[in-house]
Amino acid sequence: MKRSILVVLVLLLLGANIISAQETVTVEIYFPISVDSPITEILNGYAEAYMSENDGVEIVWSFEGGYGDVKNRLLTVAEGGGDVPALAIMLATDIYDLRNAEVIQSLDAFASEDYLSDFVAAWLANSYYDFDGDGTGELYSVPFQRSTVLLYYNADLLADAGLDVPTNWEELATTAQALTTDEREGILIPNSWPYWLFQPFAAGSGQNIVSDSDTEVFFNNDDVVEALNFWVALYEEYDATPDGVQSNWGDAPGAFLDGSAAMILHSSGSLRTIIDNADFEFGVSGIPGQDGGSFTVTGGGNLYMSADIDDATAQAAWDFVEWLTAPERTVDWSINAGYYNTRESGFELDAWTAFSEENPQVDEARATIDSAVREFSVQSLGDIRNILHAQILAVLNGETDAASAMEQAQTEAESILSIFE
């Protein structure tokens, strides 16, 4: 009798261990998208494929709206002591605010040198937290949903007018002017999120608005002021773009496609949509510099791992990150979602070769990465960005001049950044 009881106890213990070993680890991921779209289908497909290969792991996407919505929800949940997600896609430039709020954790213990070495270098520029700006800081995010600013141009309209693709500011202005009609804008430069589209102009004038330091900005630099004056000149002098503040980010690709804009500045993330829907020949390039050259700026989101998750969840989350950012996935993501392939070896895959041969614009976009400058990212980014935006929009609305506005922005920004020096 005693032996029977002992056997039962042993079996119960073994059963408990088996159940424990089979417990599912849930990897929840906050992702910035607010509507049902092909992107949700792609991501759900990735989750299903991963889970079919990895028993005991459940991948759960939580679609949260825009990038700001993801960041705000993570901060709110963490502050309230709730269950934070294992991962979140947030702006690469949010790294300082997120690290200072202690809601993300370092990835140094997970990412190997071999893994990181295959990423296109430009995409890692905003992945490190580093007070000294010497590139040796801690890794806090991995590139995934990345983009640049592109100049989209209607090649048919250029050809009909006997014009070449513009290669400097004067050519950009006069070409846009020549293509402007009563029914068509020569160029659209959406300014509802102005710093990102402004950076290539600043860099093309001779000075990016930030350096590698997280406490330094160059808003009042003469070259930056000159870049802002050029933006104003496009409507005041050339009448080639709508004047004042234009909150038309979402409308610009459609305007390009229906012919009501000959050129637009927009994200490379719109490239796939335009490829699929354009009934005319078009091309893309970087933004022409003042005296020539091609300039752009990196953008988009990275994968972050939340702080205060248990070790098993953290390891499962990292395993999924490595799987999701494998070259075959980054190429598939680029082809189907329109964002950049972030892995060098991905460009050697047959899928990419076939896609780029059929759609040469993707290689034209890829070529701009070599001239991409570091995206605007500093300590207390939200506050500094609001300061810059307010002054740029005031200039575009004719409320002040570029020099005065940029001097004011510099003064206010330095007052905040001095806290971190």
* Domains of the chain, start order: 25-146+299-373 (3.40.190.10), 148-297+377-420 (3.40.190.10)
pLDDT of residue 125: 80
Q: How far apart are CA 104 and CA 29, in angstroms?
A: 13
Residues 227, 201 contacting (CB under 8 angstroms): yes
Condensed to tens digits (0 to 9), the pLDDT of residues 304-342 reads 999 999 999 999 999 999 999 999 999 999 999 889 999
| Chain centre distance of CA 92 | 7
Q: Are 86 and 305 in contact (CB under 8 A)?
A: yes
Rounded Cα distance between 299 and 311, Å, is: 31
- pLDDT for 136 equals 63
CB burial of residue 393 (10 Å; 0-12, 13-18, 19+) = middle
Residue 263 phi, psi dihedral angles, 5° rounding? -140, 150
Strands 128-129 and 142-154: unpaired
For residues 177 and 181, what is the distance between their CA atoms, to the nearest angstrom?
9
- pLDDT at res. 34: 53
Residue 264 DSSP one-character state: E
pLDDT for the residue 258: 97
Burial group, residue 168, by CB count within 10 angstroms (0-12, 13-18, 19+): middle
Give the bridge partners for 58, in sequence order.
26
* Residue that the structure tokens 């190997």 belong to: 112
Residue 33, phi then psi, degrees to nearest 5: -155, 135
pLDDT value at residue 22: 54
State how far the Cα of 198 lies from the Cα of 411, in Å rounded to an integer.
Answer: 19
What is this structure's pTM?
0.89
Q: Alpha-carbon dihedral of residues 174, 178, 182, 184, nearest 10 degrees?
A: -80
In the DSSP assignment, the letter for residue 123 is G
Query: With contact defined as beta carbons under 8 Å apart, do 204 and 227 qualify?
Result: yes
Pair 194, 244: CB distance under 8 Å = no
Q: Residue 159: its pLDDT value, please?
A: 98
What pLDDT sits at residue 376?
Answer: 94
Q: Which portions of the chain are predicted below pLDDT 50? A: 1-2, 6-21, 131, 133
> 262: exposed, middle or buried (C-beta count within 10 Å: 0-12, 13-18, 19+)?
buried
Neighbours of 34 (CB within 10 A): 10
Q: What angle do CA 341, 112, 126 make, to 5 degrees?
A: 50
